[in-house]
């Protein structure tokens, strides 16, 4: 007997969905026990994402992230959660030659994105980004692992954006799967999703990919057994102003919205956080360089990439995907 738990709510400025399936004790048929257990898991999922929002949102003045931004130039003790997330973001910055970079808050604000996106009608770009543009090899922070302390370089302002959502999805799904015995599930935070099924004979989840120009149309799909998927787009979070059209994917090479030939990229593979990073990198780098980097640094990941001319490009993984630790041929 299985207990299916469905959770839907809004947090981290996006829609959160969780579908969890737990095998129940065959000697227990208490409907009340099942309802109580479902309520506990629903509350746990909601509490986790609300806590992540309170810690990591740039739109919460009292968040730990904003306290760190205000302390730029000085050392600050941070939580294990923020320290781990920053360490992972820095590793991806180095791996992607700086194309993935969380030091983009000042550029987002210069483009008008200075409040949560539901207020996009009031976004007013100011002057072009005026700060220093760091080279990929230039570190923008120091980290002391023993003390769990961070010192941002003066002038650095971080926006954790999508990586905070994907990282939160991965951490929670891993914990539910390995610590709480949830053998099948899906957690989705605004398109950053993790799917798992520990059954030997379990089938794949089919995840449809939305056409970036027509929300009602889906002309591609991903078959996913155990792993993640994430989408980045220059069309979703975009806004028009008298100065022109802007979007939220900042190219760190010039600290302005990306102008590549890619308008949307969906990446699937073992780790949802890596999917989020590489989807953003392909959008910023463009098709040729982005897919070359993906093939070199993430050979077990594949992509569905929409181009500015409306065409759809499929990037195949060099290493076949895995099903419950075994390759799917």
95 pLDDT band, cuts 50/70/90, is very high
In percent, the amount of the chain with pLDDT more than 90 equals 57
Position 110 pLDDT exceeds 80: yes
User: Dihedral of CA 78/82/84/87: which sign?
Assistant: negative
Do residues 275 and 229 lie in contact, with contact meaning Cβ atoms separated by under 8 Å? yes
Phi, psi of 104 (to 5 degrees): -130, 10
Position 45 pLDDT exceeds 80: yes
If one compares 210 and 272, the residue with the highest pLDDT of the two is 272
| 21-46 residues labelled b (16+ CB within 10 A) or e (exposed) | bbeeeeeeeeeeebeeebeebbebbb
Per residue in 54-67, pLDDT (tens digit) is 999 999 999 999 99
Per residue in 74-85, pLDDT (tens digit) is 999 999 999 999
Per residue in 146-161, pLDDT (tens digit) is 999 999 999 999 999 8
Fold of 64-161: T-fold (1.10.3980)
Q: Which of 195, 198, 194 lies closest to 167 in space, CA to CA?
A: 194
One-letter-per-residue 3-state SS of 250-288: EECCCCEECCCCEEEEEEEECCHHHHHHHHHHHHHHCHH
Q: How far apart (Å, rounded) are the C-alpha atoms in residues 300 and 14?
A: 28
Contacts of 209 (CB under 8 A, 6+ apart): 218, 219, 220, 221, 222, 231, 266, 304
If one compares 25 and 174, the residue with the highest pLDDT of the two is 174
| 181-216 residues labelled b (16+ CB within 10 A) or e (exposed) | ebbbbbbbbbbbbbbbbbeeeeeebebebbbbeeee
Q: What is the pLDDT of residue 321?
A: 62
Per residue in 265-302, pLDDT (tens digit) is 999 999 999 999 999 999 999 999 999 999 999 999 99
């Amino acid at each position: 007997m299985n207990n299916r738990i469905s959770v839907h709510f809004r947090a981290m400025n996006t829609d959160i969905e969780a579908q969890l399936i737990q095998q129940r004790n065959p000697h227990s048929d208490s409907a009340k026990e099942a309802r109580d257990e479902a309520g506990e898991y629903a509350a746990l999922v909601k509490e986790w994402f609300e806590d992540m929002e309170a810690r990591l949102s740039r739109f919460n003045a009292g968040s730990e992230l904003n306290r760190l931004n205000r302390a730029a130039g000085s050392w600050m003790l941070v939580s294990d959660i923020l320290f781990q997330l920053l360490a992972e973001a820095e590793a991806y910055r180095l791996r992607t030659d700086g194309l993935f970079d969380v030091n983009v808050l000042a550029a987002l604000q210069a483009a008008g994105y200075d409040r949560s996106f539901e207020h996009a009608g009031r976004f007013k770009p100011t002057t072009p980004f005026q700060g220093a543009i760091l080279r990929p090899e230039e570190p923008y922070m120091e980290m002391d692992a023993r003390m769990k302390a961070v010192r941002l370089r003066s002038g650095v302002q971080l926006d954790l954006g999508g990586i905070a959502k994907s990282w939160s999805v991965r951490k929670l799904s891993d914990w539910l799967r390995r610590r709480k015995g949830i053998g099948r599930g899906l957690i989705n935070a605004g398109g950053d999703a993790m799917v798992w099924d520990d059954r030997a004979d379990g089938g794949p989840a089919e995840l449809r990919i939305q056409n970036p120009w027509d929300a009602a149309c889906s002309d591609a799909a991903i078959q996913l057994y155990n792993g993640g998927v994430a989408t980045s787009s220059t069309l979703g979070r975009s806004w028009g102003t008298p100065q022109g059209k802007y979007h939220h994917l900042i190219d760190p090479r010039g600290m302005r919205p990306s102008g590549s030939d890619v308008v949307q990229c969906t990446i699937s593979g073992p780790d949802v956080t890596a999917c989020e990073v590489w989807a953003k990198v392909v959008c910023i780098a463009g098709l040729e360089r982005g897919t070359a980097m993906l093939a070199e640094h993430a050979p077990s990941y594949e992509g569905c990439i929409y181009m500015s001319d409306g065409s759809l490009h499929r990037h195949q993984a060099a290493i076949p995907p895995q099903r419950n630790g075994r390759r799917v041929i």
